[in-house]
């Protein structure tokens, strides 16, 4: 005889698999958000840097950021590409300068320090300013969490920032591998009130190769075509450890993976921020697109 919990799991799975929008994902029991950008920005916004008194105090890495867009992936040669389903995807575009980055962020808090699962369908490409493949023009596409323990955690609690990026190319070399980082830049105070500080966790330094993280992704023969990729990242907020990382048909070994860990800050308890980013390797805009994002938890 099956247990009530197992029956509940079976029923939940059957309902989800009957829903085409949910069936594309494999969420944990509680869906925190299912962001389909056919419904607008769904709370994804610009990552603005910290400042006090003057915007001039913002670190240049953040000052370059701009607002994400609702995009049909329009192309000059064949028109709108569209999403996995529906017309729109969230578009993150860098400026046309080598090394430029941009980030889109969603800011949440968590209600149970347990397992969470991030799933998305993504793609990326350079701006099609040249009639050639340009497969090495994107430096990286990636994602991050910005997490902090709850205020009852006690001493030793951390702000934890898991980062993963697909290093597509660097200095024109097509590298195609997943990387992570456990170091951020030194934390700098901003202004005079003693309330604001900053660091640039997306600095180009300190990225480490994920062992076995080489992956050849699908890309097309001209600079305007894209294919959508599935990504899933499992993380446990109780242990603050990654438990699984999958892209398309590949599940990567995360035994050597770690995150940026810094002492908890006095204003960020239970923070659960998610960011996706793009970086360009040439003086040409990099575009990252998210068709949809599903964040789920076990609670």
Residues that bind other proteins (CB under 8 A): 40-41, 46, 48, 55-56, 58, 63, 66-67, 69-72, 74-76, 88, 91, 93, 95, 127-129
Between CA 72 and CA 37 the distance in angstroms is 10
Between CA 126 and CA 282 the distance in angstroms is 9
List, as one string, the DSSP characters of 241-285.
Answer: EEEEEEETTEEE--TT---EEEEPPTT-TTEEEEEEEEEESSSS-
Element containing residue 12 per DSSP (H, E) = helix 4-17
CB of 74 to other proteins, least distance (A): 6
Q: Which CB, 56 or 249, lies closer to other proteins? A: 56
CB of 76 to other proteins, least distance (A): 4
**Strand, helix or coil at 135?**
coil
Structure tokens at 169: 């190319």
Structure tokens at 127: 């701006």
Q: Which CB, 223 or 297, lies closer to other proteins? A: 223
CB of 129 to other proteins, least distance (A): 6
- As to burial, measured by CB atoms within 10 angstroms (0-12 exposed, 13-18 middle, 19+ buried), residue 147 is buried
Q: Which CB, 32 or 73, lies closer to other proteins? A: 73
CB of 230 to other proteins, least distance (A): 24
Q: Which CB, 43 or 189, lies closer to other proteins? A: 43
CB of 33 to other proteins, least distance (A): 18
Q: Which CB, 128 or 237, lies closer to other proteins? A: 128
Query: Does residue 159 contact residue 240 with C-beta atoms inside 8 Å?
Result: no
Q: Which CB, 29 or 40, lies closer to other proteins? A: 40
CB of 20 to other proteins, least distance (A): 21
């Amino acid at each position: 005889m099956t247990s009530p919990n197992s029956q509940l799991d079976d029923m939940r799975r059957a309902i989800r698999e009957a829903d085409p929008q949910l069936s594309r994902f494999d969420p944990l029991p509680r869906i925190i958000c299912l962001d389909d950008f056919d419904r607008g920005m769904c709370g994804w916004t610009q990552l603005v840097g910290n400042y006090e008194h003057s915007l001039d105090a913002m670190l240049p890495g953040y000052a370059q950021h701009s607002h994400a867009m609702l995009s049909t992936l329009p192309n000059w040669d064949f028109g709108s590409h569209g999403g996995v389903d529906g017309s729109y995807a969230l578009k993150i575009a860098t400026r046309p300068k080598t090394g430029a980055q941009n980030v889109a962020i969603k800011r949440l808090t968590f209600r149970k320090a347990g397992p969470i699962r991030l799933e998305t369908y993504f793609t990326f490409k350079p701006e099609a300013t040249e009639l050639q493949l340009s497969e090495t023009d994107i430096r990286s596409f990636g994602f991050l969490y910005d997490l902090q323990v709850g205020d009852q955690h006690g001493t030793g609690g951390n702000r934890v920032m898991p980062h993963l990026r697909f290093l597509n190319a660097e200095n024109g070399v097509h590298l195609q591998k997943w990387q992570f980082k456990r170091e951020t830049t030194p934390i700098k105070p901003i202004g005079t009130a003693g309330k604001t500080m900053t660091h640039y966790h997306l600095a180009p330094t300190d990225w480490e190769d994920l062992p076995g993280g080489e992956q050849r992704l699908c890309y097309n023969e001209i600079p305007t075509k894209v294919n959508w990729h599935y990504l899933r990242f499992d993380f446990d907020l109780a242990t603050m450890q990654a438990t699984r990382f999958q892209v398309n048909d590949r599940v990567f070994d995360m035994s050597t993976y770690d995150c940026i860990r810094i002492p908890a800050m006095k204003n960020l308890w239970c923070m659960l921020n998610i960011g996706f980013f793009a970086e360009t390797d040439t003086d040409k805009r990099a575009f990252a697109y998210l068709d949809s994002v599903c964040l789920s938890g076990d609670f």
